[in-house]
């Protein structure tokens, strides 16, 4: 009885492996189309150019206020520097809302000392809420205290019970007085004019623009780890960001500076995970209501992700993104399969590139090796089955390197471009297979954490990998 089954499996395995191989090749071809679309979109944006109106915009009293929300996980020097960097952002009318997620007494002391905090009673009067005069805001863990700085800086600090990153962002939204809110990863490198540049598309079309996001690839760093991370980020930037933006289905990437309409966030019921989840939610709500809307992507280099140089740091950065993707997919799994560019391209693409393809690649390698060991396929066939998709992925990375130059105006150092181009070969020989394993694991961790309600995928705002620890 078992013998015919084994024979059947032996006969079917080569065909199955070939089908998987064709699937992977098809996915690679699809990604090239998306990368090309992204490069053209970024190039179009660059052609439109920027102007030097920021200073004028800064002075105008007609510009709406912006609240920058940050939730660092600790009171380390890096966190304090991050808050100072945010306070240095240029804006005509801005405030900074710093949300502390269950800080220890010692941490609270550090914050108080660093920013000369004093308690304030900016809490919403319950009578007004009951009378329906004030929006009750988003449900969050209890706020213990509010502080303002005695320095001449527009800083409001919220001390609350621990509840995770999404809870912190929601608490920040509740406290913010501004109609526009902004948030950014703590390890992102951003320019001081970021807020003003992000505001422009929002002011140009305030009725339809619900969010504006900006991110660009970071500077080239030496070392294999940094190059491999850059290759991965280039694929994400051109595909997930610029490529999808061409179909108004933009999804944020790590290092993204995100600006959102506060009303839109309140209508969405607040953050459930990080900015990625919020962007998907906003897309879904607007499409369900058949409303014209847009989430604008700016490809200018005003915010860049950190450029990790060590394998450990690369691992952490990728893990944070995977966990955020996992949480976003948990909350919006109903959108797959859906309709429109979100339902048939963005979300399935995210699922495929972040979970299915790594899983299938790994499975096909293992299955192929087992089939070869069992003598079901010849070693030469196995080599071809492995080489074809691997070569395709390498060529996708090489294409991304060249398309980045098309998108960003070809002003990089020729040597760096050549090095990165040929690093794609090294990336596919070992690193890619190793990365696939933990990509799947981290995404499932993020998904599970979201399902259990302990999602902290967004601790990336602080630039640390506390998500895993929690």
User: Of 123-131, 221-229, 344-352, 450-458, which part binds other proteins (CB under 8 A)?
Assistant: 123-131
Q: Could you tell me the smallest distance in angstroms from the CB atom of residue 452 to other proteins?
A: 39
Assess contact for 159 and 45: CB atoms under 8 A. no
Assess contact for 353 and 31: CB atoms under 8 A. yes
100 binds other proteins (CB under 8 A): no
**Residues near 119 by Cβ (< 8 Å), separated by ≥ 6?**
145, 146, 147
Which residue, 219 or 418, is less far from other proteins as judged by CB? 418
Which residue, 79 or 399, is less far from other proteins as judged by CB? 399
Q: Which of 3, 5, 48, 142 binds other proteins (CB under 8 A)?
A: 48
> What ranges make up the beta strands (E) of 162-207?
180-184, 189-190
Size of the site for other proteins (CB under 8 A): 48
Which residue, 15 or 339, is less far from other proteins as judged by CB? 15
- Rounded distance, CA 470 to CA 456, Å? 8
For residue 252, which of 285, 199, 295, 284 has the smallest C-alpha distance? 295
Which residue, 62 or 469, is less far from other proteins as judged by CB? 62
Assess contact for 171 and 160: CB atoms under 8 A. yes
User: What pairs with residue 69 in β-bridges?
Assistant: 97
118 binds other proteins (CB under 8 A): no
**Residues near 469 by Cβ (< 8 Å), separated by ≥ 6?**
none
User: Of 53-61, 257-265, 343-351, 430-438, which part binds other proteins (CB under 8 A)?
Assistant: 53-61
219 binds other proteins (CB under 8 A): no
Angle, nearest 10°, between helix axes 311-331 and 224-236? 20
Tell which positions 403-442 bind other proteins, by CB under 8 A: 405, 410-414, 417-418, 421
- Rounded distance, CA 374 to CA 368, Å? 10
Q: φ, ψ for residue 332 (rounded to 5)?
A: -125, 35
14 binds other proteins (CB under 8 A): yes
User: Of 168-176, 230-238, 343-351, 388-396, which part binds other proteins (CB under 8 A)?
Assistant: 388-396
Taken in order 356, 361, 364, 366, is the CA torsion positive or negative? negative
Q: Which of 76, 220, 362, 381 binds other proteins (CB under 8 A)?
A: 381
- Rounded distance, CA 253 to CA 66, Å? 22
106 binds other proteins (CB under 8 A): no
- For residues 63 to 92, the per-residue mask of contacts with other proteins, x marking binding by CB under 8 A and - elsewhere, is x-----------------------------
143 binds other proteins (CB under 8 A): no
Q: Which of 11, 139, 204, 437 binds other proteins (CB under 8 A)?
A: 204
**Residues near 300 by Cβ (< 8 Å), separated by ≥ 6?**
45, 46, 50, 197, 214, 216
211 binds other proteins (CB under 8 A): no
- For residues 18 to 47, the per-residue mask of contacts with other proteins, x marking binding by CB under 8 A and - elsewhere, is x--x---x---------------------x
Tell which positions 390-409 bind other proteins, by CB under 8 A: 391-392, 395, 398-399, 402, 405
For residue 269, which of 260, 278, 261, 257 has the smallest C-alpha distance? 278
Assess contact for 215 and 304: CB atoms under 8 A. yes
- Rounded distance, CA 288 to CA 169, Å? 25
Contact residues: other proteins, CB under 8 A: 14-15, 18, 21, 25, 47-49, 51, 53, 56-57, 59-63, 121, 125, 127-128, 200, 203-206, 378, 380-381, 384-385, 387-388, 391-392, 395, 398-399, 402, 405, 410-414, 417-418, 421
């Amino acid at each position: 009885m078992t013998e015919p089954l084994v024979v059947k499996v032996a006969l079917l395995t080569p065909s199955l492996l070939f089908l998987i191989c064709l699937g992977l090749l098809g996915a690679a071809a699809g990604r090239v189309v998306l990368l090309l679309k992204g490069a053209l979109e970024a190039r179009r944006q660059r052609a439109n150019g920027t102007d030097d109106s920021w200073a004028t915009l800064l002075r105008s009293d007609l510009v709406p206020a912006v609240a920058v929300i940050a939730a660092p996980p600790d009171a380390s020097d890096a966190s304090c520097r991050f808050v100072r960097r945010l306070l240095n952002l240029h804006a005509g009318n801005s405030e900074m809302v710093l949300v502390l997620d269950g800080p220890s007494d010692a941490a609270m002391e550090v914050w108080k000392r660093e920013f000369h905090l004093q308690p304030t009673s900016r809490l919403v009067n319950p009578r007004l809420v009951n009378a329906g005069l004030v929006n009750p805001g988003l449900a969050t863990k209890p706020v213990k205290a509010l502080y303002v700085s005695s320095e001449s800086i527009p800083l409001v600090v919220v001390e609350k019970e621990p509840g995770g990153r999404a809870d912190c962002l929601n608490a920040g939204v509740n406290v913010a007085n501004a109609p526009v809110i902004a948030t950014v990863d703590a390890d992102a490198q951003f320019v001081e004019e970021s807020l003003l540049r992000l505001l422009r598309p929002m002011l140009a079309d305030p009725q339809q623009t619900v969010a504006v996001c900006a991110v660009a690839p970071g500077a080239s760093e030496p070392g294999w780890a940094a190059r491999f991370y850059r290759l991965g980020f280039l694929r994400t930037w051109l595909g997930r960001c610029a490529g999808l933006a061409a179909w108004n289905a933009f999804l944020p990437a790590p290092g993204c500076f995100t600006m959102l309409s506060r009303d839109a966030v309140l209508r969405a019921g607040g953050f459930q995970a990080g900015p990625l989840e919020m962007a998907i939610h906003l897309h879904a709500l607007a499409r369900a209501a058949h409303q014209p809307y847009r989430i604008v992507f700016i490809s200018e280099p005003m915010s860049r992700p950190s450029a990790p140089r060590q394998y450990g740091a690369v691992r952490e950065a990728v893990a944070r993104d995977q966990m955020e993707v996992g949480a976003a997919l948990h909350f919006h799994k109903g959108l797959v399969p859906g309709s429109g560019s979100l339902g048939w391209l963005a979300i399935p693409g995210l699922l495929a590139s972040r979970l299915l393809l790594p899983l299938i690649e790994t499975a096909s390698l293992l299955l192929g090796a087992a089939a070869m060991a069992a003598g079901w396929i010849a070693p030469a066939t196995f080599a071809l089955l492995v080489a074809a998709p691997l070569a395709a992925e390498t060529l996708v990375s090489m294409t991304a390197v060249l398309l980045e130059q098309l998108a960003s105006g070809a002003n990089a150092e020729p040597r760096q471009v050549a090095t990165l181009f040929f690093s794609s070969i090294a990336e596919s020989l070992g690193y890619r297979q190793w990365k696939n394993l933990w990509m799947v694991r981290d995404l499932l961790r993020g998904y599970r954490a979201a399902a259990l309600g302990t999602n902290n995928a967004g601790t990336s705002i602080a630039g640390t990998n506390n998500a895993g620890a929690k």
